[in-house]
Amino acid sequence: MSGWFEETLHPDIGQRFRMERVLYRDRTGLQDLVIFENRVLGRVMALDGVIQTAEGDEFIYHEMLAHVPILAHGRVRRVLIVGGGDGGMLRRCLEHPSVERVTMVEIDRGVVDLSREYLPSISAGAFDDPRTELVIADGCRYVAETADRSDGDRFDVVIVDSTDPHGPGAVLFTSAFYADCKRCLAPGGVLVTQNGVPFLQPDELTQTWRRRKALFADSSFFMAPVPSYYGGFMAFGWASDDEGLRALAAADIAPRMAAAGLRPRYYTPEIHAGSFALPQYVLSLMA
């Protein structure tokens, strides 16, 4: 049965997607989840009225949020993903042979199970990789408990692949959460986050920057255009105490990419370096 899915993220502007066929629609216990087919984007998943991922363009989002921090760091062995129930971020992290373990903490088991059933091309078997540790838990609590343990695990990269700051994802945009993430990082580690579309969500970017610049020596953003996320370029948050990592040139990244044997569809060393060049309207939000 066809119809239209109308996104409800922004109160004054929006987008809609033709649903050629609804594959699943119900509540997972925590969120309203719908998966439908669209002629342009393939299979699409939305949570609580907001598009989360689509087969057609997920590679842009996942490649950028995974490859940029991992290749900038250069020595990543352990990665923590908070959220990311569709498995796309997990898949891209595991494409790096240097990565020995990826711990993925997802609050909603239903998102994982339904993504594996209806969106298998996005995770592409990543959940079955022996390097994967899947934890069904509150990501905020997991990070806090890990940070508070004297013998707690430390990660080279922490990736927050969350929803926008409403519903279950709201706590993942707080100063306390960012402080816990920092304590989970090994020396020289990198924290990256999903930070929305700054043209339509400017306050989200400003608040994130202010909260993190008080915690990290280097706090900024990098950007990429993801067609299914309406409003122009999407921002990804960047935070590290190693101020040199963000300044690496394409020539520094290229041999690392070659050594990893990556074959991305969007990411290139040149895009890596250029993604940190922010337009003036974004810089103004960081003033």
Per the annotation, the verdict on 161 as an active-site residue is yes
The catalytic residue among 161, 203, 218, 241 is 161
SS3 label, residue 197: coil
Q: 10 Å Cβ neighbour count for 148?
A: 11
Contacting residues for 30 by C-beta, under 8 A, at least 6 apart: 107, 108, 110, 168
Phi-psi region of 167 (alpha: psi -120 to 50; beta: other; left: phi over 0): left
90 burial level (CB within 10 Å; 0-12, 13-18, 19+) = buried
Return d(Cα 68, Cα 268) in angstroms, integer: 10
Asked if residue 78 lies in contact with residue 101, where contact means CB atoms within 8 angstroms, the answer is: yes
Residues acting as catalytic residues: 161
